[in-house]
Amino acid sequence: MRTYAGHSTAEASNELYRRNLAKGQTGLSVAFDLPTQTGYDPDHVLARGEVGRVGVPVSHLGDMRRLFQDIPLEQMNTSMTINATAMWLLALYQVVAEEQGADPGKLQGTTQNDIVKEYLSRGTHVFPPVPSLRLTTDMITYTVGRIPKWNPINICSYHLQEAGATPVQEIAYAMSTAVAVLDAVRDSGQVPPEKFGDVVARISFFVNAGVRFIEEMCKMRAFGRIWDQVTRERYGIQDARQRRFRYGVQVNSLGLTEAQPENNVQRIVLEMLAVTLSKDARARAVQLPAWNEALGLPRPWDQQWSLRIQQVLAHESDLLEYEDIFAGSHVIEATVESLVTESLAEMDRIEAMGGAMAAVESGYLKSELVSSHAARRARIESGEEKIVGVNIYGTTEPSPLTADLDAAVMTVDPENEAGVVAALHEWRANRDEARAAEALAALKKAAAGTENLMEATVACARAGVTTGEWSWALRDVFGEFRAPTGVSSAPVAVSADAGTPLAAVREKAARTAEDLGTGRLRLLVGKPGLDGHSNGAEQIAVRARDAGFEVVYQGIRLTPEQIVSAAVAEDVHCVGLSILSGSHAELVPDVLHRLREAGATDIPVIAGGIIPPADAAALIGAGVAAVFTPKDFGITEIIGRIVDEIRKANKLDPLEVPA
């Protein structure tokens, strides 16, 4: 039983962990902030506004010591949601455990370490696919020998569903990733054939459980059957225990609503039941989001509520006392068989392309996810897919839970970042600089060769190297990677036939372009900072394209300066900024300021993301033309509003085009 937690500083997160453990939590699930996840130190320009926002900043060994102070790591089971920099964080964890007197052979826990889904959905990748797979392979082979109880990779289909994956896509893409990893480990020659079963036994999965109860339960059964088949037939694993499909679950955050957020509680409970009610499809570990995640950062009380939901199920109900109550159901069996057949067929398609890494580089996987997400959004907008409180049953009594929206979520003190940066500078000033430089040189030499990189990484951790320094050393050797966006190849998701809302917006956009004397309206969709959750930005880009806009979308991880430079160079008519990490209060005004300095005062700026009401008001006051949050689910309507703001900024009369 876990809650995913971490914020502000190592000290504040340590206090939160110890408090949660005292409440009955049985493991730790560490959330790292975006600079840590993407390999930047807190004083890097891209880290501005992101430090301590969505997790805890860990810049060096001192931070890791403070994060786990007074928590005996030899007795703990720790999950770390970390991918591109997973090797680095595991090295820091190992060194801190050794400093506590722990035996690394007894350490238990998991590093997510699934880079494929970062290219597709979360956006915290750093290096290209091939060297990233090498880092994963080196970690796995190192832990099998040195930290045998550790799960070095957690194949994570959770974020695939958040990005719009169907159950078949979620299964097929996750399994194809596992195949790519296991093939790489086998072919590396670092693990003798007789030990390969130990590698397979340490592979774990992290899965999403959505609100479609039967479908999700059957998905887990299908996952288990396919994993058993793949490990037995492809890798010759004879021991059934080593073939066991081991998975944890975070129930769905994509389906949590800002509108009537109290409904999220029953959604969370139903999603949890899908992975606990059936013994043959029961998760080993469960994380539940908080009811108010669509509003902002949950408070400790909100996290406690989610923990208590699990505890009531486990200790008050009789749910865990029986054999599988769905065994023999012809409905369940037929659904599982269909999912297995379709998933294996999709896996074969990916294999024919050269495997998961090739399918990432070609853009196939990303394009498929953008398309399926667009189709889901279209179903919601049309009312075909119903969401209570959003597109049906919208009337509501005032909720005491959200009477004061700004107090219903936790906020991170903006002064926190300056303190973290100052502490980083102090760390650098006090370390043995020669030792750190020597460790980094050894790391780069190892990366340029073929040796396992884990030993050199552990040496860097001990030498006081920082997260950014470790990552830049590898960037120098491996380069960086900008993943395909999937926008240009996504098909049209909604009808533009005469009389439809999209047709009306198309007409409005065309007439506005004519009034401005330009061929087409141009929209820049920007992702400033380190927030890699690009699903919303991609859907806006796709729908704007379908409405006749020329769309400038360069993907994630841009500075305000780069966004403004592109806006001026491309002579765009509007800038749309998408931020879900909480850094909007700093980055959006910076874009506004730079546009004014560039003389582009006629370009309206709109913002979208998880933006609390007080912050939205502040952004409007600073000059933002419009703010959109998760409650604004009508994408076509948003595009129409963008056209309206372009007309207003250019002093054109309002234009009404009947649908």
Q: Catalytic residue positions?
A: 4, 158-159, 527, 531, 533
What are φ and ψ of residue 111, in 5° steps?
-110, 130
Q: SS3 for 4?
A: strand
Round to whole Å and give the CA distance between 255 and 248: 19
Which of 220, 245, 303, 213 lies closest to 1 in space, CA to CA? 303
Radius of gyration of the chain (CA): 25
Burial class of 553 by CB neighbour count within 10 A (0 to 12, 13 to 18, 19+): buried
Cβ–Cβ < 8 Å for 500, 74: no
Contacts (Cβ under 8 Å, ≥6 apart) of 63? 10, 56, 57
Provide, for the chain, the percentages of residues in helix, strand and coil under a 3-state DSSP scheme, each rounded to the nearest 5. Answer: 55, 10, 35
Task: Report CA-CA distances (Å) from 257 to 207, 265, 520, 541.
Answer: 20, 11, 34, 22
Residue with tokens 């029986």: 322
Round to whole Å and give the CA distance between 657 and 659: 6
Cβ–Cβ < 8 Å for 435, 464: yes
Take residue 483 and report the two structure tokens written for it: 């993943």
The three-state DSSP-derived secondary structure of 189-232 is CCCCHHHHHHHHHHEEEEEEECCCHHHHHHHHHHHHHHHHHHHH
Round to whole Å and give the CA distance between 125 and 500: 39
Q: SS3 for 77?
A: strand
14's enclosing H/E stretch is: helix 10-22
Burial class of 240 by CB neighbour count within 10 A (0 to 12, 13 to 18, 19+): exposed
Cβ–Cβ < 8 Å for 319, 279: no
DSSP-assigned letter for residue 56 = B
The three-state DSSP-derived secondary structure of 361-413 is HCCHHHHHHHHHHHHHHHHHHHCCCCCECCCECCCCCCCHHHCCHHHCCECCC
